[in-house]
């Protein structure tokens, strides 16, 4: 038994116009929640992130807290790149659905994913 699952997605070769569309980015959160049967606890927070003059040329940073944990993403339109993660206390995360969602939504050419099992020693019972 483990507490939950956490998938990270790094997408390459995405459409810069899609990655730079704040409304489109914001729409991902309710769509993903519906697709995965998750329940948002707050409205998605979407912030235009400026160029930091180091390695981040700007884009959108966004997250939503869900009853099951959180979903977050950062877009980098000038690089055609997206970094996203879905963390849930549910087991049996539908990773293929999530990957396909991001590929289609941002027209990604390539993705890297990692799946981490969280809380592998999660107690079966309350300790107090």
Residue tagged active-site, from 2, 74, 83, 125: 74
Residue tagged active-site, from 6, 28, 62, 69: 69
Decide: 118 and 56 in contact? Cβ < 8 Å: no
Whether residue 89 lies in the annotated active site: yes
24-32, Cβ contacts within 8 angstroms, sequence gap of 24 or more: 24/105, 25/60, 25/62, 25/73, 25/75, 26/62, 28/62, 28/73, 28/101, 28/105, 29/62, 29/64, 29/71, 31/101, 32/71, 32/86, 32/98, 32/101
Whether residue 74 lies in the annotated active site: yes
What does the block give as tokens for 104?
């289609």
Angle subtended at Cα 98 by Cα 61 and Cα 10, rounded to the nearest 5 degrees? 50
Whether residue 62 lies in the annotated active site: no
Residue tagged active-site, from 27, 61, 83, 89: 89
Catalytic amino acids? 69, 74, 89
């Amino acid at each position: 038994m483990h507490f939950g699952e956490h998938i990270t997605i790094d997408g390459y070769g995405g459409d810069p116009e899609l990655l730079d569309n704040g409304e489109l980015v914001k729409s991902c959160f309710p769509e993903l929640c519906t697709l995965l049967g998750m329940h948002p606890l707050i409205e998605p927070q979407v912030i235009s992130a400026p160029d930091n003059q180091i390695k981040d040329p700007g884009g959108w940073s966004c997250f939503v807290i869900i009853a099951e944990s959180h979903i977050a993403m950062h877009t980098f339109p000038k690089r055609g790149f997206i970094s996203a993660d879905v963390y849930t206390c549910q087991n049996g995360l539908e990773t293929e659905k999530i990957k396909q969602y991001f590929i289609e939504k941002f027209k990604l050419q390539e993705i890297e994913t990692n799946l981490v099992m969280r809380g592998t020693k999660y107690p079966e019972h309350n300790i107090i």
